[in-house]
């Protein structure tokens, strides 16, 4: 082959290689281009998936909150925080339509504190939580809410000019230039008879995608659902703190309110009054006319209280025919005047079918003026109310602070003595801590509850020898026993003795062999004889050396005596047994029956009540059983 042929062939091969390289280069470039497009699609889908997942998580969080007991304001604040923090919006708020002296307006139900709200406050010269919009008639907001359609502002300037009056042009220009708001979207929110307003979203983007709008619209619907659920919750909550017969607050709400008002009063150095009221002769009304007439009498008193109460007063039905009213900002003189107005209104009230009408006995006590302890305030008011009854009923009595020794003080002294003198086998370190708490409480003027501390101490002592003892049982026992005592018309002094006895009646069990108290089977006769010593042990060995409770000892000694004489330790029967001892017996029996024991399951409430009925005129007097049945119904409402 000649040189020319070789050159020609080489050139041809080179051309073929170049052609192949060019073709492969085009293939690589096409793959590269396709990869770029694919990467973009992956990034776009990933972002869409992230936003969808974020949306679902946010909606799930909202749903969880709506199904919790959190207040509506907390739920709504979380919603707008999510829009601001997680979805990149500049600001968001929920506004509700209202009316003030200027006319219709929209007040913020939620607000966020950030740079945008700070600038808005500077613009309007008011705090963001006082901020209101005054939209023009037929403006974007008004039409959106009226027509229930999503609407837009294409600039922050338009939004301010239409809804915030009296902003000068130069200030407005400076404000709008300092914010990066491109679009403001208005999503109407409407819940029939409950809420009319809108969700607003301040976006840094001029255009919103369809899926973004769909999500925000879904968010608005979630807000409507949140408002509906919150209002249902508030209705249920109101029912939980309201007495069904009178529509006054119930005992639980009253006790919480008394604590709150005492705290406020001590902080502001402003007194408040407590009025106690007890319907006279309810038992006579029930016996003569029937319980429906008694309910009418109770409802009549409630109506009188409501008509005479201010909006800030807190009237409650404490139980049975007993009522209490908290009067914030009222001193003793004002409390007496208010109580007298209520008394005369009750006296003049007419009840169809009831001859002679009704009357009530009232007591008044003043916080700060007479005491700074809520337990003492309550006891003083209760004692004044009983004093009105003893003096002839249908009158008002101001609490007397002279010689005021409450049953709680006596109980504290007794427990300090028992624990200090080691009268019971109890952990010394725990005893020392309890003594310190008791002594501090004696000098406490913070308005906190002495009762709760006493109940807790008795729970602790009881649990030390009987592990199955349930926390809170002491409070429940004292509450029920007090209701029964009032139903049986015991005097205030006897009820106070009963309360102390209820704290101490089982103290003798601390001296009993632990294996007997924890035995998982019924006791044999010898073991029963040993256990039956506990009233005597408690009364004579533990309490007799404590002079302040000497008048409590007979109550405790006889709290296991039966009406028919078959009880212990002295086989007393009938009227020989102190009424207060009988009340302890029936109260203790009831709570023992509804509690689990290793050798039997717990009775239901109905089973326990039926068992007590079967023992009328045997273990308990018939009158006591009737008082118990009435009181247990009141107790179940608390």
3-state secondary structure of 103: strand
Which residues belong to CATH 3.30.450.40 in the chain? Answer: 72-239
Architecture of the CATH domain 72-239: 2-Layer Sandwich (3.30)
Per-residue model confidence (pLDDT) at position 489: 87
Measured distance CA(390)–CA(361) in Å, rounded: 9
pLDDT value of position 37: 63
Backbone angles phi, psi at 367, to 5 degrees: -80, 140
Angle in degrees, CA 50, 150, 233, rounded to 5: 75
SS3 readout for 124-156 = HCCCHHHCEECCCCCCHHHHHHHHCCCEEECCH
* pTM score of the predicted model: 0.60
pLDDT at 130: 77
Q: Concatenate the DSSP letters of all residues of 412-458 into one string.
A: HHHHHHHHHTT-S---HHHHHHHHHHHHHHHT--S---HHHHHHHHH
**What are the φ and ψ backbone dihedral angles of 394, each rounded to 5 degrees?**
55, 50
Q: Are 457 and 465 in contact (CB under 8 A)?
A: no
Instruction: Please report, for residues 188, 416, 550, the alpha-carbon distance to residue 497 in angstroms, rounded to integers and kept in the order given.
Output: 63, 18, 10
Terminal alpha carbon distance of the chain: 119
Q: Is CATH 3.30.70.270 the classification given to domain 251-398?
A: yes
Give 380's contacts (C-beta < 8 A, 6+ positions apart): 363, 365, 370, 371, 399, 400, 401, 404
pLDDT at 67: 47
CATH number, domain 407-636, options 1.10.10.10, 1.10.3210.10, 1.20.272.10, 1.25.10.10:
1.10.3210.10
Q: Which residue has the tokens 């002296």?
A: 101
Distance CA 325, CA 362 (A): 11
Q: How far apart are CA 430 and CA 99, in angstroms?
A: 60
Distance CA 86, CA 352 (A): 64
Tell me where in the chain the CATH 1.10.3210.10 domain(s) lie.
Answer: 407-636
Q: Which residues of 592-604 are buried (b: 16+ CB within 10 A; e: fewer)?
A: ebeeeeeeeeebe
Per-residue exposure over 110-149, b if at least 16 CB sit within 10 Å of its own CB, e if not: bbbeeebbeebbebbeeebeebbbbbeeebbbbbbbeeee
Q: Where are the alpha helices (DSSP H) in 521-621?
A: 525-531, 534-536, 553-557, 579-593, 605-614
CB-based contact 589:559 (threshold 8 Å): no
Q: Per the structure block, which two tokens stand in for 200?
A: 């607003």
Mean pLDDT, consecutive 10-residue segments, the chain of 638 residues?
Answer: 64 67 65 64 56 50 49 69 72 87 85 82 80 88 91 91 87 86 91 84 85 78 76 64 88 90 92 96 90 93 94 91 95 96 95 92 96 90 92 94 78 89 85 81 59 87 80 91 92 92 86 67 73 75 87 91 93 94 96 86 93 96 95 86
Enter the tokens of residue 586.
């029936």
């Amino acid at each position: 082959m000649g040189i020319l042929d070789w050159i020609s062939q080489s050139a041809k091969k080179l051309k073929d290689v170049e052609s192949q390289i060019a073709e492969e280069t085009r293939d690589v470039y096409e793959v590269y281009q396709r990869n770029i497009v694919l990467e973009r699609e992956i990034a776009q889908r990933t972002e869409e998936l992230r936003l969808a997942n974020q949306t679902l998580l946010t909606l799930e969080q909202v749903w969880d909150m709506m199904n919790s007991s959190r207040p509506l304001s907390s739920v709504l604040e979380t919603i707008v925080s999510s829009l601001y923090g997680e979805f990149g919006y500049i600001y968001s708020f929920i506004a509700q339509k209202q009316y003030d002296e200027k006319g219709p307006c929209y007040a913020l139900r939620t607000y966020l504190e950030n740079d945008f709200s700070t600038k808005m406050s500077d613009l309007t010269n008011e705090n963001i939580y006082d901020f209101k919009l005054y939209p023009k008639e037929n403006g974007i907001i008004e039409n959106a809410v009226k027509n229930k359609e999503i609407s837009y502002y294409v600039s922050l300037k338009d939004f301010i000019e239409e809804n915030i009056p009296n902003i000068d042009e130069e200030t407005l220009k400076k404000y709008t230039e300092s914010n990066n708001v491109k679009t403001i979207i208005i999503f109407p929110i409407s819940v029939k008879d409950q809420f009319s307003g809108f969700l607003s979203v301040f976006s840094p983007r001029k255009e919103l995608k369809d899926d973004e709008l769909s999500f925000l619209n879904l968010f608005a619907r979630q807000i409507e659902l949140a408002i509906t659920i919150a209002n249902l919750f508030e209705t249920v909550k109101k029912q939980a703190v309201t007495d069904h017969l009178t529509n006054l607050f119930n005992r639980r709400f009253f006790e919480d309110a008394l604590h709150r008002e005492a705290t406020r009063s001590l902080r502001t150095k402003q007194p408040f009054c407590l009025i106690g009221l007890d319907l006279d002769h309810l038992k006579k009304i029930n016996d003569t006319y029937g319980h429906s007439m008694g309910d009418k009498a109770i409802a009549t008193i409630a109506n009188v209280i409501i008509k005479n109460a201010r909006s800030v007063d807190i009237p409650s039905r404490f139980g049975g025919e007993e009522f209490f009213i908290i009067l914030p900002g009222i001193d003793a003189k004002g409390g007496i005047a208010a109580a007298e107005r209520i008394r005369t209104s009750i006296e003049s009230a007419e009840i169809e079918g009831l001859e002679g009408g009704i009357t009530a006995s009232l007591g008044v006590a003043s916080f700060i003026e007479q005491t700074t302890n809520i337990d003492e305030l309550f006891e003083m008011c209760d004692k004044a109310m009983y004093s009105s009854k003893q003096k002839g009923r249908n009158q008002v009595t101001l609490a007397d602070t002279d010689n005021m020794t409450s049953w709680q003080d006596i109980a504290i002294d007794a427990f300090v003595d028992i624990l200090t003198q080691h009268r019971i086998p109890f952990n010394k370190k725990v005893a020392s801590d309890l003594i310190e708490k008791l002594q501090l409480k004696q000098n406490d003027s913070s308005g906190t509850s002495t009762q709760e501390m006493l109940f807790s101490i008795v729970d602790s002592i009881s649990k030390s020898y009987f592990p199955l003892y349930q926390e809170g049982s002491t409070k429940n026992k004292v509450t029920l026993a007090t209701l029964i005592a009032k139903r049986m018309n015991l005097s205030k002094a006897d009820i106070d003795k009963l309360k102390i006895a209820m704290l101490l009646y089982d103290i003798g069990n601390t001296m009993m062999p632990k294996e007997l108290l924890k035995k998982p089977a019924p006791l044999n006769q010898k073991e029963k004889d040993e256990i039956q010593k506990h009233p005597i042990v408690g009364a004579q060995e533990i309490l007799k050396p404590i002079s302040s409770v000497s008048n409590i000892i007979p109550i405790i000694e006889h709290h296991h005596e039966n009406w028919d004489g078959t009880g212990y330790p002295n086989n007393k029967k009938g009227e020989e047994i102190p009424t207060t001892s009988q009340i302890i017996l029936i109260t203790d029996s009831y709570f023992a029956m509804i509690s689990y024991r290793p050798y039997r399951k717990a009775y239901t409430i109905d089973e326990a009540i039926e068992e007590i009925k079967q023992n009328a005129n045997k273990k308990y007097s018939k009158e006591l059983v009737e008082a118990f049945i009435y009181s247990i119904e009141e107790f179940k409402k608390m």
